[in-house]
Amino acid sequence: MGILNVTPDSFANPTSLRDPADAVAAALRMEADGADLIDVGGESTRPGADPVAADEELARVLPVLKALHGRIRIPLSIDTYKADVARAAIAAGAVIVNDVSGLSRDPGLARAVAETGAALVLMHSRGSSKTMYAEAHYENVIGDVTSELQDALRTGAAAGLAPERVIVDPGVGFAKRPSHSYGVLACLPAIAAALDRPILVGPSRKSFLREALGNRPAAERDWGTAAAVTAAVLAGAHIVRVHAVAEMVQVVRVAEEIRRHG
């Protein structure tokens, strides 16, 4: 899953893709580089980021989604936790909603996704972008993450979401200290077994990598990302969400072969 952030404050992209033409060109490059799907985001979810109104978020993502319609062959995902944004994005061509809040921010999102027939990624997190680290306290990080994702799955089912349309994401880097994120990656098979849903993992360029790499800027964390992506694939992840598509496609293909021969 290639990351296409059309925000002015993406933590990991050295250049902004606010211009729809630039964003479309970037998406087409990702497809050519081997991406299987692309996740379009109009609100930064980095720690400390300010929330964005739905109207502003739509103004950022809709021109890109509409411009890609008919030009790109791989599925498009919309990275949002807002029901109104999700509905409009699906109408413009998105077929997946990637909800970093795990259905905790907008009570109407699950129903909106269920009614449109789109797929939904439920990510584990706590609080908002500004408060998530204050809530990074766990009795047992694997047990707590699993339990809270199970609660989100039940919320989705109650809103009419078919289980086969739901993917889960343990939320590496969200409301987690570095030790929590590494623990989640190390114990991914246990999380997957307990949830029995396809797993998405998004370690790309995140700050938890600094625990091992030192204080490198986000754009210089691709080698560390490659290690985390390899671990995720070997542990059974079905989707990895990345910035450097061409490089990570090679990483994933080799890791897949190792897993297949195991």
Token pair in block for residue 42: 């109009």
Catalytic site includes residue 241: yes
The H or E element containing residue 5 is strand 2-5
> Is 172 within 8 Å of 184 (Cβ atoms)?
yes
Shortest CA distance to 203 belongs to which of 182, 175, 220, 179? 182
**Residue carrying the six token digits 């990351």:** 3
The active-site residue, picked from 87, 197, 206, 221, is 206
Q: What are the two backbone dihedrals, phi and then psi, of residue 111, each rounded to the nearest 5 degrees?
A: -65, -40
DSSP 50: P
CA distance 201 to 121: 11
The active-site residue, picked from 18, 241, 253, 260, is 241
Catalytic site includes residue 210: no
**CA end-to-end span of the chain:** 24
β-strand pairing of 38-41 with 2-5: parallel
Token pair in block for residue 107: 């009570």
Q: Just list the catalytic residues.
A: 206, 241
